[in-house]
Chain A
Amino acid sequence: MQDNYFHSVKFDKEQCRGCVTCIKFCPTEAIRIRGGKARIIQSRCIDCGECIRRCPHHAKRADTDTLADVGKFNFNVALPAPALYSQFAPAVSREKIFAALHRLGFDAVYEVALAAECVTLEIESYMKRRAGLKTPMISSACPAIIRLIQVRFPSLIGHIIPILPPVEVAATEARREFTRATGLAAETIGVWFLTPCPAKATNIRQPVDVTATDLSGAIGISSFYGEMKKIIGAISESDIAKARASSYGIGWGYAGGEIRATGLVNSLIVHGVKEVADVLEQIEMNKMDDVDYVECLACPGGCIGGALLPENRFVAEKNLKLRVRRLRDREPAGRRQTILGGREIAQGNSAFRHKTIQPRPIMKLDDNIVIAMKKVGQIKQILAELPGIDCGACGSPTCASLAEDIVQGLAAETDCVFKLRQVVNALEEEMSKPPKNARGETGTEE
């Protein structure tokens, strides 16, 4: 834990009841209950938001920027994730959504879905030069998955497609477009991602894929949704921004949308962080090398299942898919013509990742291999004595992780309730015996 990690997933001590829900669902075993409260192990957290989604006491939240932060800039651009549209019925036009954003304090809108189209074309052309690619290539769209690969599957870093996620491309394009349009200095323009998940917010403060981000911040959609819902009924469409993205860009909001847009045939779609971990395991075993591309998304259903979206995941999926279908009915027949549709795209290397993704392995027990081997032996011994029911009552997610925590000096054997009971029983037995010396020496009882 020598590095300092920034995380958006924050946790509220007051609300936490010390139940074991979050430790059970965390895909990187990054949470422990200590002293009756949850604690996040910073080096292991990938900001997937699974604990936020699962916590029955709402003790986990995402610390994102808010509308109040928008005030720091003279001119503010909203970058709505395609998933924002899923929070409204398809009858609510995007122009209406943009008008509501205007009312909330944004001066302009740049659709992330538009940048997704540029990224789509980059992926398509990258995948065309098949030779020498490490198959399957893995989508780079979901920052929680990139982090999952860093911590649990570092040997797969070379499989991640070296193209930036749509939000970063959108930020660069938006900053360029509005610097030109307003004549303002680039640094006086606020560029805000309206995010469905904490992972994207983390990537702004601690990016793994860009050396410097063009984003000013990320605002969780749930933080302004109520406000937006209140005003959107009464609002009339304004000309603050035209909806420019096609059905293909918008489709990136749900699982399968990226594959649909890129037209990659020999591909696989996987969503849900546990399922993605499973498939990464298989890729690591070379059992997927005859597949070209895998779209991996941490949230169930894709971004529409993000932890910072208030609407039910299936309602959101229905909303976005209907919107896509209605839009598609009015578009040209071909996929590529639709995506290119009268728009000049900065072909070049603008969408290419400019930073090497580094491994962040979490499994290693010690830097010294001999000590690490000894620790493996100790863990095995301790584990053999534990009940093996993985109840989580000790505060570690499984008996194996408790054994590891004990060896690493982070827990005690008596944290296990079964172990504790043994100790208490032994103590009780010891206490109930008459004191040996007294009887032996005096023999005066009774």
Chain B
Amino acid sequence: MSEPFMDLSFELLAGDFERAGEASSKIKKTLQQIGVSADIVRRVAIGTYEGEMNVIIHSYGGTAKAHIYPEYTVIVLEDAGPGIADIELAVQEGYSTAPDYVRDLGFGAGMGLPNMKSCSDCFEIASKSGAGTKITMRFAHKKA
């Protein structure tokens, strides 16, 4: 496969709702500039946004990275913990551990992980309770 052409990286702070959405909107703009089709850009943006929100809501902070290749984009969301105890349960629709104040903001409906899974071509999650979580999503630029 070709060399990684472009890497974008964004710091995500726990509880920083003011800047939430910045990573996904910048990644979205870059993909639009390189000419990725609108529907795929939309899926990347949605998946990244969900991931960004997850890190901000549930973790101690982390990073969002985009590795952009001519044929596909890989989004990696990594955080410093506290990790997910039961991944099987976490990827089920409607399951959420979000605190009330977050739900009051309109987030934390338990759709984050399922949405990320359904909008990406390839979804991987690695996590351990007490450690960090790493999510990798892959999006082909052309429909298979």
Contacts and interface: CB of A to CB of B under 8 A. Distances in A.
Contacts, number: 52
Contacts of B45: 284-285
Contacts of B36: 369
Nearest to B141: A369
A376 B46 contact: no
Contacts of B29: 363
Contacts of B134: none
Contact of B34 (A153, A154, A155, A369): A369
Given A155-B39, A155-B41, A377-B6, A372 B34 contact: yes
B129 interface: no
Nearest to B30: A376
Interface residues of B, number: 21
Contact of A284 (B30, B34, B42, B141): B42
A238 B41 CA distance: 58
B5 A373 contact: yes
B32 A369 contact: no
Contacts of A379: 33
Nearest to A404: B33
Contact of A365 (B35, B38, B42, B68): B35
Interface string B74-86: 0000000000000
B139 interface: no
Contacts of B42: 155, 284
A131 interface: no
Contacts of A377: 6
Given A367-B35, A373-B5, 13 more contacts: A154-B38, A155-B38, A285-B24, A359-B38, A361-B35, A363-B29, A363-B32, A363-B33, A365-B33, A369-B34, A369-B35, A369-B141, A376-B33
4 shortest A-B CB distances, which residue pairs? A363-B32, A155-B38, A364-B35, A154-B38
29 contacts: A153-B38, A154-B38, A155-B38, A284-B42, A284-B45, A285-B24, A285-B49, A286-B46, A359-B38, A361-B35, A361-B38, A363-B29, A363-B32, A365-B33, A365-B35, A366-B35, A369-B34, A369-B36, A369-B70, A370-B70, A372-B33, A372-B34, A372-B35, A373-B5, A373-B34, A373-B68, A375-B33, A376-B34, A379-B33
